[in-house]
Each structure stands twice: as C-alpha cells, then as structure tokens.
C-alpha cells in the first residue's frame, strides 16, 4: 500500500483569507508517491496565485528559495535534499527540473479538487485501504450500533433543492460524502465550477463571521 503522509495546514491562525491563508485548519492524509510533489508545488505557488509576487522564489516566507539555494542557505532543520532527490541524482539537474516543475504548475487546476471526503488526497485504492483500517479500529466500538455512529449520506438531489446552486454544491462538498466530480455530474457543470462555488461560499461565510 502507498504510504500515507499526514499534513496539517493552519489558515485561521492569523484570521487571514485568500489563496495563501484561506480556510480553517486542515489535516489531510496524502498518498506520498502520487500527490506529495503536487501538493508541495501547490503550496509554493500560493503567493503567485494571490498576485503577491511574480515568482515563487520571491516570497520571503517560503522554503522555496532555500531549496534552490541548497543546504548552505537553508536552516539546519530544513531537509532540502530529500525533495530534490525526486528530480535527479545531481544537484544541478535536480534544481533545474524542480524549477521547471513548479513553474509548470501555474494555471493548473487546484490540487484540492482531487480531495476525497475532505480528508484523503490520493488514489481510490489509497482511500479504500485507509478506510478499511479505520473500520477495523471501529471494532473496539461495537457496543455502539453502526447506524448510530455514522449517518446515511444525504443524496445530492436533496442538496439540489436549494435554489442557490453555489450554496447547494458547496454544502454537498462540505458534507464529505460527495466528490467534486460526483457533484459536477449531478449538477451538470464542470468540476472547476464546483471548485469556484466552494471557494466563493467559504469566503462569504468567513467574511460574515469576521
């Protein structure tokens, strides 16, 4: 089985919103082999998407410049070689390929569009394997009937009754029961439309709380 990696992001610590700080704290299980590099690129490019800098290396609060500068530039606690090994056996070639990989990510769909159930970022096999592990752990709670521990998913048709389509799609996704693709298919829109609706509704609700 692919190795899972647990990553946690804090977007609410300083009550910021936007590409860099949007959302509450998120803990995500990532399929290391398939999505870790993609996720690293997404995070590195957040300041570029937000229009704060033109190049990821110009953002002073990122480790991107440290990776390009090498171990002598990076702080002692930051491991840069492990990342670069994914791009080549020599430092010069690895850095060049890493830079090309990051720049190629400008304009590509958000990595979060592949998020499953609000928690898993990986292939179907990866998700199934982790869910089976969680179900095994549930055996310790057998004195509590399963029907009481897990509610039945609300069908997408119920969400569609909301006259505000953006809210309907955002709430369906927030439930964790439906993927963006499933929602897009049901509402007969592109999955990017679902992604925009989710971000729009989340931003509106965040502003209402502040």
Model pLDDT, residue 148? 42
Local confidence band at 153 (pLDDT 50, 70, 90 cut-offs): confident
Instruction: Identify the residue with better confidence: 10 or 181.
Output: 181
Residue at token pair 């647990």: 6
Local confidence band at 4 (pLDDT 50, 70, 90 cut-offs): very low
Residue at token pair 């007969």: 188
Model pLDDT, residue 100? 93
Residue 34 tokens read as 């398939």
Model pLDDT, residue 159? 93
**Could you report the per-residue pLDDT of 31-48, keeping only the tens digit for each?**
666 678 888 888 888 888
Between 90-99, 102-111, 147-156, the lowest mean confidence (pLDDT) is in: 147-156
Residue range 186-199: mean pLDDT, rounded: 87
Model pLDDT, residue 161? 94
Model pLDDT, residue 6? 44
Separation of alpha carbons 205 and 199, rounded Å: 10
Q: What number of H helices and E strands is found in the chain?
A: 10, 4
Model pLDDT, residue 176? 78
**Could you report the per-residue pLDDT of 53-100, keeping only the tens digit for each?**
898 888 888 888 888 886 667 777 777 787 888 888 888 899 999 999
Model pLDDT, residue 96? 93
Q: Is the pLDDT of residue 19 over 60?
A: no
For residue 122, what is the DSSP state?
S
pTM tops 0.85, yes or no: no
**Coil, helix or strand at residue 27:** strand
Residue 170 tokens read as 């955002």
Instruction: Identify the residue with better confidence: 165 or 124.
Output: 165
Q: Can you list the alpha helix ranges (DSSP code H) found in the chain? A: 32-49, 64-69, 81-84, 91-103, 124-137, 146-149, 156-159, 165-174, 180-187, 191-209
Instruction: Identify the residue with better confidence: 192 or 94.
Output: 94
Provide the sign of the torsion angle of the four alpha carbons 181, 49, 44, 69, taken in this order: positive
Model pLDDT, residue 144? 43
Domain boundaries, the chain: 1-149, 151-210
The count of other CB atoms within 10 Å of the CB of residue 179 is 18
Closest CA to 30 of 112, 108, 105, 109: 112
């Amino acid at each position: 089985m692919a190795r899972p990696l647990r990553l946690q992001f804090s977007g609410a610590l300083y009550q910021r919103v936007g590409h860099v700080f949007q959302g509450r704290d998120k803990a995500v299980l990532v399929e290391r082999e398939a999505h870790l590099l993609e996720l690293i690129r997404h995070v590195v490019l957040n300041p570029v998407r937000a229009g704060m800098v033109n190049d990821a290396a110009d953002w002073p609060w990122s480790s991107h410049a440290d990776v390009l500068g090498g171990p002598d530039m990076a702080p002692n606690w930051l491991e840069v070689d492990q990342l670069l090994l994914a791009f080549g056996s020599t430092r010069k070639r690895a850095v060049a390929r890493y830079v090309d990989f990051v720049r190629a990510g400008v304009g590509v769909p958000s990595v979060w569009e592949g998020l499953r159930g609000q928690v898993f970022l990986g292939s179907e096999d990866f998700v199934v394997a982790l869910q089976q592990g969680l179900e095994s752990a549930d055996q310790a709670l057998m004195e509590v009937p399963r029907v009481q521990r897990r509610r039945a998913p609300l069908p997408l048709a119920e969400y569609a009754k909301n006259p505000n389509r953006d809210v309907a799609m955002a709430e369906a996704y927030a439930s964790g029961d439906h993927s963006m693709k499933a929602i897009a298919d049901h509402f007969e829109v592109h999955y990017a439309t679902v992604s925009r609706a989710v971000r729009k509704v989340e931003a509106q609700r965040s502003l209402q709380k502040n």
